[in-house]
Structure 1
Amino acid sequence: MINYLRHMAVFARVVDEGSFRRAAKTLDLAPSRTSQTVADLEQYLGVTLLYRTTRKLVLTNEGRKFYAHALEIVRNAEAGVNELNALSQQHIGALRVSLPVFLTSSSISSAIAEFAKQYPKVSLSLTFSDHIVDILNEGIDMSIRVGWLQDSTMMARKLYEGQRLLVASKAYMANRETPTHPSDLLSWDWIKFDIRSNSVEFESASGEKISISENSSLTVNSADALSHFAKQGMGLAYVPEHIVADDIKTGDLVHVLPDWKLKPLGYYAVWPNKSRRENLTLLLVRFLAERCAV
């Protein structure tokens, strides 16, 4: 069986990546070699581990059970390497990180670029998605979550808080009286972010708090889309400040109710309780916390 430990590692990577081609790229192997390695493992075990189609790979029942064991072996091996790396003060390995799409151009992405330059032997694979990524099932080592975290079995560290601004286009504002209170917006059109509730919370400088509901006929699944459609005159949108700061400066968007604040956003690093690359994950988390602190 010891001769097939490498085969098990390749199989686990194929499952993590969901593709022979992507797995081959991360392993620096030819796709045909990766496929043959898994086929040899199946022949040795006498079972089919993966159903192969032209579009995707699907684990068989046997494959699902075997993957859990293969992954445990890989994690233990990586933990051993990480421990030695820590002792030798070397930082070598790979990290898979997920972030919301609207953080593509942000202080967090800039900090990750700085991390990559400082630790060139750490290979980073970044996945950008505006929907919550399943860290465990998708083999993610660390995820950046934006919002306010619910109770979770995951480890988490708050990086910073960011402001959100309520915006609309000049053309949209031109046809309406300038609002002075959130209640003035009840009949206005809103552009809704689909993973967010309809409730919008405001707080004045004097401490008055009020919550109103969005009147929305347009829903999007991207924070960048909120800004885009606001500029098209489709209505109000509340968006992370860094996305719309330049548009407000150029006049493409207007900051609505500037004397009222929206509930800020918490930016968190989240990772599994038992990370297979714990030392590298914590290294990145601490690095981001130091660079992003405000």
Structure 2
Amino acid sequence: MPEHSQPPLPYRDGLAPLRIRLPHDDSSVLVLDYLQREHPGDDWVTMLTGGEVVDEKARPWTVESRYAPGRFVHFHRVPAPETPVPFELDVLYDAEGIVVVDKPHFLATIPRGMHVTETATVRLRRLLGCEDLTPAHRLDRATAGVLIFTRSRELRRPYQELFSSRAVLKEYEAVAKFDPSLEFPRVVRSRILKDHGVMVAREEPGEPNSETRIELVERFGDTARYRLFPHTGRTHQLRIHLSSLGIPIKGDSYYPIYTRTAADDFDSPLQLLARAVEFDDPITGGRRRFVSRRTLAG
């Protein structure tokens, strides 16, 4: 879909409509035949009869519509029930076309997989009544802190390119084990790879593709608070780099050993926080800095 085009169906409860392209190599006679065979979990007869399924030009498909290879089917699906994340999404700033929020732990950034309604994007769209809200970057579900959204389609690219071009100073904070043999500040570089469908990423020999500057802020017993400045944004980079030093982040169920946790277990959040972002605004040219109000457990 072109970047500035409107979807054939409106958003519903903060969720964009889904889209299916009818394949050319299918022998179905009717669109209904294909939909019922390939997506049997939906009540297609009711949806088609009610005008809830449309093509790319917002024209309704019906139960009698002939199969048309290459055409699109747009529709809404009722999302499966999700365990509510019992923490609030706080708005830090809302002006000049951007919204900056303080994301809590356990809340995913965008709808994906089993997390659809319990995401920062959907919560914020519902809260502000703005269906065009789109994140300029992402934070892991396990990570809390500063997250920036744009309010209009026209602003998406300039702000997203800030992050993709590494023009943003990102400052994180973590609580992890203290090791007196390690010297700080230090820069960690390594090669991080992640296979599709595998929960954890891994380090392996080769040309480094990740870099993090780590500073020791304070020590309390056998634990310490660290300030992290990632120069790159590989999957789970900060968690892997601290774990590789033998000081895994408190509450990390992925590194060094992956441990499955229940979907409704909110007792031990990962002690990693996107403390601040700083950048030259691509629209106004002014310098901006946004800081999280959250705190980490010692």
The TM-score with structure 2 as length reference comes to 0.28
Which has the larger share of helix?
A: 1
The TM-score with structure 1 as length reference comes to 0.28
